[in-house]
Structure 1
Amino acid sequence: MPGDDAVHGIIDWDRRYAHMRYHTSQHLMSGVVWSIYGARTVGNQLYADRARVDFQPVSFTPADLKRIEDECNRAVAEALPVRITEEDRVKIENETGDRSLVDLIPKHIMRLRAVRAGDRDYCPCGGTHLKNTSEIGRVHITERRNKGKETDRIVYELATP
């Protein structure tokens, strides 16, 4: 298609907003798990009606899952602001340490788009996000799966806010 051709697109807002809710909730969950258990997010998949996040190294107990769910829901209730900024790579590396996967971003990229979900998570991210954690809705963990090699998967759903 030539560069000057006009294109008309339509966004499925309900689907996009659902993905924004799940994506922002994944930031919360990843930040909570990192701060409590020191486990890094090593994979995730977001859908319009559920999500899964893989963490390593960790093996969650039922009590751990309850704590994670409670901490995520506390952050939702606190209505934390979600801020998108552009930051120097070095600042992000220094502030996030091993929490983020900034080491996977090519070294020549020196300015990065970052998301900060209140005081719960801060990392480079190019995704779509909510403005406030209160838009997420209640987090309900539905399943934990052991994926081997000290990797646990959390599957969860969100209630309508």
Structure 2
Amino acid sequence: MTELVYQGDSYLKEYMATIKAIKGSRVFLDKTIFHPRSGGVENDTGYMVFNEGMVRVVNVYYDKESGDVAHEVDNASLLPQPGSSVKLVLDWERRYRLMRLHTAAHILSAIMYTNYNALITGGNITPEYGYDDYSLTEFTREIFEEAVKKANEVVARNIEVKIYWLPREEALRIPGVVKLASKMPPEVEKLRIVEIPGVDIQADGGPHVKSTGEIGVIKLLRVENKGKNKKRLYFSVEP
């Protein structure tokens, strides 16, 4: 399986990798800094650069056939043969927006759970905005306005975002992580933990910023009543 290098360092903008296989427009690598669409966070895009030129990476996802990370490119015929090295180059502006919004979503979800016992039932993060669905019976804009206000107070404290790995058994003993971690396949022996001390802790595989201050200002865009126990919050970050 492809090594997800970004899980150790989400700030890598370029990286050398080796082509393992090419299947149609799908490219499989030994390592990658491209985040595949997962966990409600959209995929990275960018380029693969080699001696003869470059191709654009237009989509990244977990391949249904192999379970490995597939990098979909715009012109696979230009690529060198498997075994060759390519330089991976991220669309950094897109990635950094996703990181800021992703960490903001963690803060918002923690506040909604702590203050209103509301769990996330769905969501999506794009470079432009994110949304999350919460298991709320009551629907008032004031609830979300207060949550965003509290979230921005956390952002202003510039708290370090800690990322580390724990053995599965140890992670399962942490309140708040259990629900997510218990869904992991039994063969997953270690879980990647994302912790904002005093605010949130959960098992998570996506890219995040190093400190809450990097988020900027969280903006409430709109709220929607999507039905019983499903209230949707749309948000963005500025600048």
Same-fold status (TM-score > 0.5): yes
CA contact 1:34–1:99 (8 Å) conserved in 2: no
Which structure features the higher share of strand residues?
2
User: Using a 3 Å threshold, how does the CA distance of structure 1 residues 80 and 58 change in structure 2: closer, same or farther?
Assistant: farther
What is the one-letter code of the residue matched to 1:74? E
How far off its partner does 1:106 sit? Answer: 1.4
1:68 partnered with 2:125: no
Match of 2:24 in 1: none
Amino acid at match of 1:49: E
Contact 2:176 2:201 in 1 (8 A): no
Deviates more, 1:2-11 or 1:43-52: 2-11
Name the structure 2 match of 1:92: 171
8 Å contact kept, 1:100–1:123: no
Q: Residue 159 of structure 2: SS of its match in structure 1? A: coil
Give the structure 2 partner of residue 23 of structure 1.
102
**Structure 2 spans left out of the alignment, 5+ residues:** 1-20, 22-80
Which residue does 2:199 correspond to in 1? 120
Shift, 1:100, TM fit: 4.6
| Residue-by-residue CA offset, 1:3-62 (whole Å, 9 max, x unaligned) | 522122211111110010011111111111111111112222111111101112443422
**Alignment partners' CA distance in 2, 1:153 and 1:100:** 21
Instruction: Rate the CA distance shift 1:110–1:57 in 2: closer, same or farther, 3 A.
Output: farther
Q: Corresponding residue for 2:14? A: none
**Which residue identity lines up with residue 124 of structure 2 in the other structure?**
Q
- Out of 12, 32, 47, the position equivalent to 2:91 is 12
1:74-121, Cα deviation, whole Å (9 max, x unpaired): 000010110001012233333234785223211332310010023111
| Identity among equivalent pairs (%) | 28
Q: Is the 8 A contact 1:23 1:46 kept in 2?
A: yes
State the shift of 1:152 in Å. 1.1
Task: Name the SS for the 1:140 alignment partner.
Answer: strand
Give, as a single letter, the amino acid of the residue that structure 1 aligns with 2:191.
L
* Kept in 1: contact 2:137–2:228 (CA 8 A): no
* 1:23 partner amino acid: H
Deviates more, 1:62-71 or 1:86-95: 86-95
- Which structure is higher in helix share? 1
Q: Which moved more, 1:54-63 or 1:64-73?
A: 54-63
4+ aligned runs moved over 3 Å, structure 1? 57-60, 97-100
Q: Hey, what does 1:109 align to over in structure 2? A: 188
Paired amino acid for 2:199: R
Q: Give the total of aligned pairs.
A: 160
Alpha carbons 2:120, 2:134 under 8 Å: kept: yes
Superposition RMSD on alpha carbons, in Å? 1.9
Aligned pair partner of 2:234 in 145, 155, 161: 155
TM-score normalised by L of structure 2? 0.62
Please list every run of 5 or more consecutive structure 1 residues that lacks an aligned counterpart in the other structure: none
